[in-house]
Amino acid sequence: MTYETILVETLGKVGLVRLNRPQVLNALNDQLMTELGQALMDFDSDDNIGAMVITGNDKAFAAGADIGAMATFTYMDVYKSEYITRNWETIRNIRKPVIAAVRGFALGGGCELAMMTDFIICADTAKFGQPEIKLGIIPGAGGTQRLPRAISKAKAMDLCLTGRLMDAAEAERAGLVSRVVPADKCLDEAIEAATVIAAYSNPSVMMAKESINRAFEGSLSEGMLFERRMFHSLFATEDQKEGMAAFVEKRKPDFKNK
Ligand code: CAA
């Protein structure tokens, strides 16, 4: 598959997607979101891939939805076509882990895209924000919903209402990102994390992701029940036998991903 707005490569068992519209700081348009969704779905169904990384470039992960493309849209244009948000939820249906490696700006839809991944590793140059308020709109791809869950109501309100940007240190304190690393190490760190994940038993990785996502969306008792059922079901896998036998025998496990 050839793409125009993203660059796709495979590094061992890791699928890497680079957002690639540098002239507009990787502003997210319909084509890019369609191509990103397709690339992730292809990796998701590829047995040789165990985890994915999405990144941008040194200046920007993505500076939001493409303002130029939507500047003249009417209500009917956006409502009927869902142009800005139509393809965005594809990433939520990806079952293998997806990591965002964020350098530079992750604003508006860029911040929302990063939050749709499973976790964010960012550079010390990263800047996060939901500045839509400055454009006379509000976040439209989950900013008002995922930010309060990911950080807090207070900080979500602060960012969405003032439009100010949050640096990497504040993002780490707030819990938005899992790690902050020097900018020149950011992508390597994310690929390394994805490589570690991809070496584990794939069913346990996918069930861990699915269970944690339940904590984000449902009640505690439902989440506990779901987790327990997933936990029990993993005892049907060969990898559970191998993982535990390896521990008992004091050797490294040789997971077959089944
Ligand atoms: N859409 C389209 N083009 C964009 C863009 C965007 N979101 N962000 C940056 N660009 C373009 C600029 O227009 C500029 O193009 P030209 O060279 O042709 O003028 C180029 O990228 C470089 O940008 P700047 O010259 O502005 O770079 P800077 O370093 O001075 O500023 C910035 C960087 C602070 C990120 C600034 O570009 C900016 O504020 N961008 C807009 C951020 C924003 O408002 N994002 C929210 C979009 S709405 C949204 O995302 C809705 C949603 O929830 C789905």
* Strand pairing category for 98-102 and 51-55: parallel
To the query of whether residue 27 is one of the catalytic residues in this protein, the response is no
How much is the pLDDT for 96? 98
Q: Is 50 in the pocket of ligand 1 (CB under 6 A)?
A: no
28 pLDDT higher than 90: yes
Q: pLDDT tens digit string along 108-139? A: 999 999 999 999 999 999 999 999 999 999 99
What is the distance in A from the centroid of ligand 1 to the CA of 232? 48
CA pair distance 107, 105, nearest whole angstrom: 6
State the pLDDT confidence band at 258, using cuts at 50, 70 and 90: low
What is the distance in A from the centroid of ligand 1 to the CA of 25? 6
What is the pTM for the complete model shown? 0.95
What is the distance in A from the centroid of ligand 1 to the CA of 161? 18
Task: Quote ipTM for the complex.
Answer: 0.98
How much is the pLDDT for 205? 97
Token readout for 137 is 């709109």
Q: Compute the average pLDDT of residues 4-14.
A: 98
To the query of whether residue 9 is one of the catalytic residues in this protein, the response is no
How much is the pLDDT for 176? 98
What is the distance in A from the centroid of ligand 1 to the CA of 65? 9
How much is the pLDDT for 81? 81
Q: Which atom of ligand 1 is nearest to the CA of 112?
A: 53
To the query of whether residue 222 is one of the catalytic residues in this protein, the response is no
**Mean pLDDT of the chain, nearest integer:** 95
Q: pLDDT tens digit string along 60-103? A: 999 999 999 889 999 998 888 887 778 888 998 999 999 999 99
How much is the pLDDT for 89? 84
Catalytic site residue from 63, 65, 150, 198: 65
How much is the pLDDT for 257? 80
- Taking CA 51 as the corner, what is the angle to CA 46 and CA 55, rounded to the nearest 5 degrees? 115
Q: Is 65 in the pocket of ligand 1 (CB under 6 A)?
A: yes
Q: Which atom of ligand 1 is nearest to the CA of 127?
A: 35
Catalytic site residue from 112, 126, 168, 198: 112
How much is the pLDDT for 83? 74
Q: pLDDT tens digit string along 177-231? A: 999 999 999 999 999 999 999 999 999 999 999 999 999 888 999 999 999 999 9
Q: Which atom of ligand 1 is nearest to the CA of 66?
A: 1
CA pair distance 115, 251, nearest whole angstrom: 37
What is the distance in A from the centroid of ligand 1 to the CA of 174? 25
Token readout for 135 is 């454009």
CA pair distance 250, 130, nearest whole angstrom: 49
Closest CA to 97 of 125, 121, 64, 129: 121
Q: What is the Cα gyration radius of the chain?
A: 19
Ligand 1: residue of 67, 115, 166 to mutate (most ligand atoms within 8 A of CB) is 67
| Residue 125: alpha-carbon gap to chain centroid | 18
Q: Is 142 in the pocket of ligand 1 (CB under 6 A)?
A: no
To the query of whether residue 114 is one of the catalytic residues in this protein, the response is no
